[in-house]
Structure 1
Amino acid sequence: MTLKSYLWGMRISTVFALAAWGMVINYVDPQKTGALGQILFYISAFLSFTGIFTLFFTWLRRKEGLEEGHPAFIGMSFRQGVLMSFLVIGLFFLQSMRILVWWDGLLLVAGVFLVELYFLSHRK
């Protein structure tokens, strides 16, 4: 798979995920649907943010002039996109439970940072 086809697939998937997230926001009432509505919200938001962050990190790597299309850089961009999405969804969840304070957010950022450092230190 070439980088161009990967990026087009990711763009199309991100547009569909954003459309799904928008539909969940507009048409699903969390008071009536309960846990199912919240799960749909978080899953569609996670997929949307994963696509956005992955495309952003891939764009940054291409702008830096790193080896275009190298599978390690594509995988790294995807991994960082997923980790950033976990961070955003974690912050959303903490806020929805009304327990988000600055040090909780900082602990979540530190956790994501440590996971990324683990992956970077065990690179082959």
Structure 2
Amino acid sequence: MGLKQLIIIVSITTAIFWIAWSMVLFQVDPDTAGWSGIAAFYLTLFTSLLGSFFLISFGVRKRFDKDELEYKLVGKSFRQSLFFAVALVGILMLQDLRFLTWWNFIMLVVGLGILEYFFISLNSKKI
């Protein structure tokens, strides 16, 4: 699959997931739907954010990092988009459960930062 095809597919699926998320947001009552409605909300939000962050991150990287190979840009963009989407949805889930405190927020951010550092150090050893 070429890069252009990847961007087109990710763009289309991201748009579909944003539409699905807005349908869940406006059509599903969380009190009557139970856990399946809440799971649909978080799942569609997560995939929408993941696709959006990937497209933005890849576009910025491609514009400013012209020397890097494209497949490496895709990997970095996807990984960091995944971490950012996990952080945002995780914060929303903690808030929904009334567990969001400043130390939980810091632990989540530090944990994702350590994970990113691990991947950066893993990739730098291959060179």
TM-score normalised per structure 2: 0.91
Shift of 1:14: 0.6
Contact 1:3 1:69 in 2 (8 A): no
State the partner residue of 2:117: 117
Contact 2:62 2:73 in 1 (8 A): no
TM-score normalised per structure 1: 0.93
1:24 and 1:12 mapped to 2: Cα distance?
18
The answer on 1:10 being equivalent to 2:17 is no
Shift of 1:68: 6.5
State the partner residue of 2:73: 73
CA RMSD of aligned residues (A): 1.3
1:54 and 1:31 mapped to 2: Cα distance?
32
Contact 1:42 1:89 in 2 (8 A): yes
2:99 is paired with a residue whose SS is: coil
Q: Specify the code of the residue in structure 2 equivalent to 1:99.
A: F
Q: How does 1:82-101 map to 2 (within 5 A)?
A: 82-101=82-101
**CA deviation map 1:54-92 (0-9, x unaligned):** 111101101213347621210111111111110011000
State the partner residue of 1:62: 62
Contact 1:3 1:68 in 2 (8 A): no
1:7 and 1:119 mapped to 2: Cα distance?
24
Change (3 A) 1:69 1:14: farther
Percent identity over paired residues: 34
Q: Specify the code of the residue in structure 2 equivalent to 1:75.
A: G
State the partner residue of 2:33: 33
2:44 and 2:61 mapped to 1: Cα distance?
26
Unaligned runs of 5+ in 2: none
1:46 and 1:54 mapped to 2: Cα distance?
12
**CA deviation map 1:87-106 (0-9, x unaligned):** 01100001101121222112
Large movers: runs of 4+ above 6 Å: none
1:122 is paired with a residue whose SS is: helix
